């Protein structure tokens, strides 16, 4: 098994585990009349999950597409939620790979 094959196998397992996790997640409804904009509501929900340890440090966050499906929002809204967490130093984004929980420290 080559290095690339190993990476692909690990990536597929991570995506598979994330998909199973998202099947059991109860996402709150977005309140469009709330003081917080939708992307901040999603970011708060993600932050609460990160603070509870799920996903753990270094683990992937749901993709933009997964957040779109989960919350019923536009891709821009999902992207802004992840960007907000990245600006706060909570997540790191790897272009073409996704966003991961950053090391706290």
pTM of the model: 0.77
Whether 5 is in a domain gets the answer no
Is the Cβ–Cβ distance between 84 and 38 less than 8 Å?
Answer: no
Please enumerate in sequence order all residues whose Cβ is within 8 A of that of 4, keeping only pairs 6 or more positions apart, or say none.
Answer: none
Residue given tokens 């992937």 in the structure block: 60
Whether 57 is in a domain gets the answer yes
Q: How confident is the model at residue 27 (pLDDT cuts 50, 70, 90)?
A: confident
Instruction: Check which CATH number belongs to the domain holding 52 and give it.
Output: 1.10.10.10
Alpha-carbon gap, residue 104 to 57, rounded angstroms: 8
Whether 36 is in a domain gets the answer yes
Whether 13 is in a domain gets the answer no
Please enumerate in sequence order all residues whose Cβ is within 8 A of that of 80, keeping only pairs 6 or more positions apart, or say none.
Answer: 39
Tell me the residue range of the domain where 47 lies: 26-101
Q: How confident is the model at residue 26 (pLDDT cuts 50, 70, 90)?
A: confident
Distances (CA, A) of 70 to 15, 22, 61, 62: 16, 8, 13, 9
Whether 12 has a pLDDT exceeding 80, the answer reads no
Whether 32 is in a domain gets the answer yes
Whether 15 has a pLDDT exceeding 80, the answer reads no
The per-residue pLDDT for 3 is: 55
Whether 99 has a pLDDT exceeding 70, the answer reads yes
pLDDT digits (tens, 9 = 90+) for 37-62: 999 999 999 999 999 998 999 999 99
Decide the pairing of beta strands 98-101 and 91-94.
antiparallel
Mean pLDDT computed over 97-102: 96
| Domains contained in the chain, number | 1
pLDDT digits (tens, 9 = 90+) for 69-80: 999 999 999 999
């Amino acid at each position: 098994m080559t290095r690339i094959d190993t990476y692909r196998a690990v990536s597929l397992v991570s995506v598979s585990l994330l998909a199973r996790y998202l099947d059991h997640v109860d996402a709150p409804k977005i309140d469009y009349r709330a003081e917080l904009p939708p992307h901040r509501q999603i970011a708060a929900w993600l932050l609460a999950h990160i603070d509870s340890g799920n996903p753990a440090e270094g683990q992937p966050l749901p993709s933009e597409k997964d957040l779109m499906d989960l919350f019923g929002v536009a891709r821009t809204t999902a992207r802004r939620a992840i960007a907000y967490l990245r600006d706060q130093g909570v997540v790191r984004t790897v272009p073409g790979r996704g966003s991961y929980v950053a090391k706290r420290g």
